[in-house]
Amino acid sequence: MSETTNRPYHHGDLRHALIDTALAMLAADQNWTFTLREVARRTGVSHAAPYKHFRDKEALLRELARIGFVQLGQSMAQAMSADTFSVREKFVAAAQACIDFAIHNPGLYRLMFSSDADKTIDSQLHDAAMNTFGLLLRLLEEGQRDGSFRPIAMSAQAAASWAQVHGLAMLAINHQLLEEKVGVAPIPAALEVLLDGMCCGVSNQQKP
């Protein structure tokens, strides 16, 4: 049995090489002009070689998106791993980690959330996305259990949190969080507003 299930013969490991090149291109080019031929060119193979590893361009993009969800999950998990944090602090840390991920990798983030309807068909991609989403759900559970968050329908809090973070991320990477519109530090400020609606008891008012 070979070392990995997908090890090409000639190149050594073209599949992974293509993925690495593509991820690097996504991270470098803000312009989101992603061509399969360019990926092949930079990997040093002919423009038709990728088709031996991915059915079409979309298949590669879906794999990139899947990896993106795994990476995002890792970033968020690490951000909220400190046990000394309160749930509220963990929430802010995870949200900020997600938005930072988007800002540092806008092409990949856009790709992850630009589904073509058939995303649900790719079960691996779907699973990766659900796993990352699960981090949020578990945090909300923890918050409701220890009384930090209000005991309302968790799906409502999940929808609100997710939309808030995703909205901030999308606006940030599209350079639409201009100071003239939303002030100097819109992201922490917006998260505080949301948390005031989710948290119990003392509504942690904005700092002066």
- Residues interacting with a copy of itself, by CB under 8 A? 30-31, 113-117, 119-120, 129-130, 133, 150, 152-153, 155-160, 162-168, 170-171, 174-177, 181-183, 186-187, 189-198, 203, 205-206
Joined together, the tokens standing for residue 80 give 């909220």
C-alpha distances (whole Å) from 8 to each of 1, 2, 3, 29, 63 are 14, 10, 11, 28, 17
Q: With binding defined as CB under 7 A, does residue 77 bind DNA?
A: no
- Which residue number, 24 or 160, has a Cβ lying nearer to a copy of itself? 160
Partner from DNA, a copy of itself, none binding residue 176, C-beta < 5-8 Å depending on class: a copy of itself
One of 29, 30, 32, 37 touching DNA (CB under 7 A): 37
Q: Is 161 left (phi over 0), alpha (psi -120 to 50) or beta?
A: alpha
- Which residue number, 34 or 85, has a Cβ lying nearer to DNA? 34
Partner from DNA, a copy of itself, none binding residue 177, C-beta < 5-8 Å depending on class: a copy of itself
One of 10, 175, 181, 207 touching DNA (CB under 7 A): 10
Cα separation, 201 vs 182, in Å, equals 27
* Contact yes or no for 205/196 (Cβ under 8 A): yes
- Residue 109 beta carbon to DNA: minimum distance, rounded to whole angstroms: 20
One of 20, 23, 49, 67 touching DNA (CB under 7 A): 49
Partner from a copy of itself, DNA, none binding residue 156, C-beta < 5-8 Å depending on class: a copy of itself
* Contact yes or no for 126/120 (Cβ under 8 A): yes
Q: With binding defined as CB under 7 A, does residue 20 bind DNA?
A: no
Partner from DNA, a copy of itself, none binding residue 196, C-beta < 5-8 Å depending on class: a copy of itself
Joined together, the tokens standing for residue 172 give 């940030």
b/e map of 34-60 (b: 16 or more CB within 10 Å)? bebeebbeebebeeebbeebbeeeeeb
Phi, psi (5° rounding) for residue 149?
Answer: -105, 150
Q: With binding defined as CB under 7 A, does residue 19 bind DNA?
A: no
Cα separation, 47 vs 195, in Å, equals 49
Residues engaged in binding DNA (CB under 7 A): 6-12, 14, 34-38, 45-49, 51-53, 56-58
